[in-house]
Amino acid sequence: MHMKSIVAATLLFGLLPVGPAGAQQIAADEQEFQELVAALKANDAERLSAISTCIGQGIGGNPTGAAKFMGVPVEKAAEAWCTRMTNGIADGKLTLADVNGLNEGTVTPGAQAVLTTMSEGK
């Protein structure tokens, strides 16, 4: 389970910000998504690893737009996006539907709340 959740998190954080052209689901179904949630919630090292991996991969082709949406400087956009998304998933504030909506270019109310609210000071 540990390796599977890291792979899923890498897919989420590597592809999600790119948008619909590169979008892939992070989980085949709700059960798989809940396993990812549980892994991120239960293991701080894994959560931090997912955030770090995400930041390293960047947030796609429009960091300026993402920064403006989140209310952060452009140079902090990747860190804010990755921290907020990871914590939103781990804390149960983002659902699979929210994440899939972002992959399709739709910002659900849940995703908007997570991405526009500071998380761990980011």
Span 105-118, pLDDT tens digits = 889 999 999 999 99
Domain assignment of residue 122, yes or no: no
2 vs 28, residue with greater confidence: 28
Higher pLDDT, 36 or 17: 36
Report if residue 33 sits inside a domain. Answer: yes
Q: What is the arithmetic mean of pLDDT over 44-51? A: 91
- As for how many domains the chain has, the answer is 1
pLDDT tier at 14, thresholds 50, 70, 90? very low
pLDDT of residue 25: 61
| DSSP line for 23-76 | ---S-SSHHHHHHHHHHHHH-HHHHHHHHHHHHHH---S-HHHHHHHHTS-GGG
pTM for the full model?
Answer: 0.79
| 98 located within any domain | yes
Task: List the domain range (segments joined by +) for residue 109.
Answer: 2-115
| Residue 62 domain-assigned (yes or no) | yes
